[in-house]
Chain A
């Protein structure tokens, strides 16, 4: 497998760039983006990557559409819950559905994901029950699922730190004979998700270095959503982010992250590359964070309505809708089913979130260590006595 030249335009990307976004060398450039489904709903061919989308039958694409639609509705539900005071914070995946659902569905059981904290769509593809994610944002705990059950690690909030864990994990998979084993069905790889801002972190650079020299089966999947909270990728880099991998000898590719077909195909290629023992790959998915950074953010201070409208026209779900409608593969009945599914998930999410009581306060002392530690034991014992010294102990839930 050869490394595609990221500077060689495939002739599709450039025509969609409005003047303000024509940026021929920087990280917002659309040069070289792999795009198989454009924002008008038209399909395109790519010599290298179309074969990785050949299996995407209308059925398959409808399943993408369903997941993206349900994810967005659920995301909005979580947003409402935050506004109602049920969550302390919410971090939307709004706008990044194609990059996440497309790449997530390229994964198989032996693969393992290291997400950052916005990968709710990937979580969905890995079978994580979406409402459980909200336990973190309700402040009940810091991690709400068992990573090994889903091949999906906990969210990491320290930007880029998990890229090293992903690389170490991939080195472990290689040692365990799960790469290029001779039985392709058993082979696995690691996908590490992070954003444009993370590419400035030393840990990302170190992760690429370690992955490269160890030939580790890891796919670095950068969602360039164009914002590190308020900062543009032009504050992170003078060149496309995918180019960062070149100096490490890591093949990289830029893909239209709002195109679920291309996101899927490119990830499929990258995973096969890694699983078959060819080492790490860097994928940059150019997308757009349609929501705020978090519910504590105010994007009106740093971006224009015009910018938002430009990208709203490139909505990842809308273009798949247009395409499926155009080929007569999105029936009203199917849409009704998906709408009902999304509504049911919304209801279940509301009910679930509101049913969560406050955990036992003594739980905060659990799992600091796996074995007893005198400082934890002393603090726990003292606090327990302190709590019990109040007459309304039961009311406090201790």
Chain B
């Protein structure tokens, strides 16, 4: 697309449009997954693509996650860019071996002779009243593995740009899609990303954090599904006189320490919120980096607001289990009064 156009669309539609643009741009881009063909995926993210690109490029695979990722690796060795859909994050574990021992390490093992531009799309996180294995947040398990890049959009714009940059990136990218945000609408400029798809530009595009709201008293770090929560919390905090700066990490690996630390030095107070289990989670990494790099600017310990150390509970409890406005504002109050 040569001209920038702005459209309002949902995150699901933005990913769909991004996939379409990538497939039109490069015939080596393949979509692979369960029910992504005629059905269009259980979330309809691939809706219409099977019809327009055919079953050779939008491939309904056997029901075997390890097989999907493993064959995507082999196809990658022949120059194909597979975009794999894992139907729900809770079903990614049969592929965990392929992702962590093979996909993540092939470039290293081959001393750079093999690049695997595989994208793994993972609908994740909760809040949709689902049954077991359909609401979890396993991103830290992958962030702990060198060789993977991990991106999670919080807005339709980031979803649209990010999926195309993830596909263009020569490295493997895990693209975590906050499923509760699929139907949130936003403005999407569909023209700008086309000029940012070189290896370097695409990689850079999915590597950094953004300041989603400026503030001066507390830095509230979020990503994916909790960015909207953080913005809502900041709005409420502002009404009671606390200025909260919201940072949307966007990239989990690499983690953009500079943006977080810069904000931490300004505010001196940091709260991190994510849906994933708090213990050993992304917030722990953010906390460690802030402590290492902004220790003397801090007025309070870094606090974490996340999932409890329990399996994801039945949906009846999920609004207590997940970070919510009350729990985030409680943490904001605690760092303010420390």
Contacts and interface: CB of A to CB of B under 8 A. Distances in A.
Interface of A: 141-143, 146-148, 153-154, 156, 158, 161-173, 175-176, 202-203, 206-207, 209-210, 213, 366-376, 378
Interface stretch (B34-42, B72-80, B134-142, B186-194): B72-80
A206 B77 contact: no
B239 to A, nearest CB: 36
A206 B107 contact: no
B102 A207 contact: no
B75 A142 contact: no
Interface of B: 56, 61-62, 64, 66-67, 69-80, 94, 97-98, 101-102, 105, 107-115, 146-147, 149, 169-171, 199-200, 203, 207, 253-257
Contacts of A213: 62
A210 B61 contact: yes
Contacts of B56: 175
B147 A369 contact: yes
A163 B102 CA distance: 12
The 6 closest A-B pairs by CB, nearest first: A168-B74, A164-B70, A172-B78, A168-B71, A206-B67, A169-B74
A164 B82 CA distance: 14
A155 to B, nearest CB: 9
B56 to A, nearest CB: 8
24 contacts: A147-B110, A147-B114, A162-B102, A164-B66, A164-B71, A171-B75, A172-B74, A172-B75, A172-B80, A175-B56, A202-B66, A203-B98, A206-B62, A206-B67, A209-B62, A369-B149, A370-B112, A371-B169, A371-B171, A373-B254, A374-B256, A374-B257, A375-B253, A375-B255
A203 B96 CA distance: 12
Contact of B207 (A167, A366, A374): A374
Given A165-B74, A171-B74, A175-B80, A207 B67 contact: yes
Given A168-B75, A375-B254, A142 B67 contact: no
A172 B111 contact: no
A384 to B, nearest CB: 18
A272 to B, nearest CB: 22
A169 B62 contact: no
Nearest to A164: B70
A172 B257 CA distance: 39
Contacts of A371: 169-171, 199-200, 203
A176 B28 CA distance: 11
A370 B94 contact: no
Given A167-B71, A168-B78, A172-B77, 9 more contacts: A146-B113, A148-B113, A161-B97, A161-B102, A162-B102, A168-B73, A172-B78, A207-B70, A210-B71
A264 to B, nearest CB: 26
Contact of A209 (B64, B101, B112): B64
A374 B249 CA distance: 14
B71 A171 contact: yes
A165 B108 contact: no
A206 B80 contact: no
Contacts of B97: 158, 161, 203
A206 B78 contact: no
Contacts of B74: 164-172
A176 B78 contact: yes
B62 A367 contact: no
Contacts of A170: 74
Contacts of A162: 102
Given A167-B70, A374-B257, A143 B109 contact: yes
Contacts of B171: 369-371
A370 B115 contact: yes
A169 B253 contact: no
